[in-house]
Amino acid sequence: MRELTRLREQVSVWQSLSRSLSDNLELAELGDEGLYNELATEVVRLSADVAQLEFHTLMSGEYDDEGAIVAIHAGAGGTEAQDWAQMLQRMIIRWAEQHRMKVEVLDESAGDEAGIKSCMMSIEGSYSYGWLRAERGVHRLVRISPYDSSSRRHTSFAKVEVWPDVAEDIEIEIDEKDLRIDRFRASGAGGQHVQKNETAVRITHIPTGLVVSCQNQRSLTQNTQVAMGILKSQLFDLAQRTQNAEIAALKGEDVDAGWGSQIRSYVLQPYKMVKDHRTGHEVGNTQAVLDGRLDDFMEAYLRQQVGHDLETTGSAEIPEA
């Protein structure tokens, strides 16, 4: 029923656009010069609507319209890298809020002095996975470290993982013998019951080595349910990526996804620039990007994936009769 509702909404948008186009063509055929300004306005509006719908076709993957699970891990470098991981967390949360998406922090490990060692978030909203899959990879920061008394320039890395939140939509059998479940007391805010009882849970899937933890729910049962759902999504995503890698290997493609291959660099010193190394897209307003203005980078990535040229987007020409 959810899939049917989604498809009906998509079809409804195209049908509405088709009706609007037909109505305006009928007006144009009347040849009334008094309607020129109105039709010119409609051409601009329809062109923008078509460009928006054309962009949405870039997110036509099987799970692009699903929610997303985002995990961020600080790289080597101690406090500096942990601070960078928290900056990335803030950046993605700001982006989600700008798109009116719901964000829930499922798990978070605080840094030794500042920042975070890792975090896991659930992001629910229209095409959240379709957008956020563009952020998967290693992010590099270059800046004068606020934690260096000598004010030296530091380079930090953090890794972002993204997979679709499809736990409710898939059937995956998990043998209890393959799981190691550890319970512990949750840290941070949460109330007396949370602080005094072992409500947090960490689940290890022994065959794959996947580890999932959750501590932000109010009971052990709730945390276990959330963690199991995340584990199912991770196992599903792992199976999908393994299959894709095998196909790519048969084709002879390079499928290197190593830790050191950063997808994007954020340079704050000696100049200001954010550059995506996959698409070449770059901007000089680094603060805006860190405040969540990521749409241009995401769109450039999505267009590259389907072979679109950024120079052609949003243009509309009326052919001569």
pLDDT at 275: 96
Q: What three-state secondary structure class fits 250?
A: helix
Answer whether 82's CB lies under 8 Å from 75's CB: no
CATH of 67-168+261-305, one of 3.40.640.10, 3.40.50.2300, 3.30.1600.10, 3.30.70.1660: 3.30.70.1660
pLDDT tens per residue, range 292-317:
999 999 999 998 887 644 444 444 33
**What value does the CA radius of gyration of the chain take, rounded to a whole number of Å?**
23
What pTM was estimated for this model as a whole? Answer: 0.67
- Domain range summary for the chain, segments of one domain joined by +: 2-59, 67-168+261-305, 176-251
Which CATH code is given to the segment(s) 176-251? Answer: 3.30.160.20
Q: Which runs of consecutive H residues, i.e. helices, occur in 168-294?
A: 192-196, 220-251, 286-290
pLDDT at 86: 96
Residue numbers in the chain where pLDDT is lower than 50 = 190-195, 247, 250-258, 308-321
pLDDT tens per residue, range 217-249:
778 888 888 888 888 888 888 877 776 665 455
Paired tokens of 20: 């609007």
DSSP-derived secondary structure letter, 28: H
Name the amino acid, one letter, at 68. A
